[in-house]
């Protein structure tokens, strides 16, 4: 597989994650269980990028660093606090100074930044491979 194609794989995984999470919340009861599945899927988004970028030793990619930030700031804390506070409603959980819904809103932005980083890395890597950059 060409190295820029891994970014297409990440992007496809991310774009499948979005409707999967929506389906979880429409079909799984209780909603707290759906939230655990969704949070696990978002953790997997970061882990997929970690695995792919470390595999090809691409330590300077935007995707790797945004996936690291997304994992540390949003997906891991969200999953951890949902597990610890499983018996509480999401609106009652605080993520530092943020309420559950506010934190979720910010994590959505974090995920969008990760998507953008993947797209940028795809085009940068593709350009480098096709020799369109100056040396």
- Predicted pLDDT at 2: 55
In this structure, are residues 41 and 76 in contact, taking their beta carbons and an 8 Å threshold? no
Structural domain includes residue 106 = yes
* pTM attached to this predicted model: 0.89
Structural domain includes residue 82 = yes
CA distances from 94 to 81, 101, 104 (A): 9, 9, 11
Structural domain includes residue 71 = yes
Structural domain includes residue 18 = yes
Domains of the chain: total: 1
Task: List, in order, residues 6 or more apart from 18 with CB less than 8 Å away.
Answer: none
Structural domain includes residue 135 = no
Structural domain includes residue 89 = yes
- Predicted pLDDT at 132: 59
Q: For residue 42, what are the domain limits?
A: 5-127
Structural domain includes residue 134 = no
- Predicted pLDDT at 1: 47
- Predicted pLDDT at 4: 75
Q: What is the pLDDT along the chain (135 residues), one digit of tens a residue?
A: 457 799 999 999 999 999 999 999 999 999 999 999 999 999 999 999 999 999 988 888 999 999 999 999 999 999 999 999 999 999 999 998 999 999 999 999 999 999 999 999 999 988 877 765 554
Structural domain includes residue 133 = no
Terminal CA-CA length for the chain: 24
């Amino acid at each position: 597989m060409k190295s820029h194609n891994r970014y297409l794989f990440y992007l496809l995984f991310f774009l499948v994650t979005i409707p999967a999470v929506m389906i979880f919340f429409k079909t799984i009861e209780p909603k707290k269980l759906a939230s655990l599945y969704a949070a696990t899927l978002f953790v997997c988004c970061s882990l997929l990028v970690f695995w792919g970028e470390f595999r090809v030793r691409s330590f300077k990619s935007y995707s790797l660093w945004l996936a690291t930030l997304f994992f540390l700031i949003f997906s891991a804390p969200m999953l951890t606090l949902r597990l610890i506070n499983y018996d509480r409603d999401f609106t009652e959980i605080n993520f530092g100074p943020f309420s559950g819904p506010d934190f979720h809103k910010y994590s959505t932005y974090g995920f969008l930044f990760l998507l953008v980083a993947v797209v940028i890395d795809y085009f940068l890597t593709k350009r480098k491979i096709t020799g369109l950059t100056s040396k």
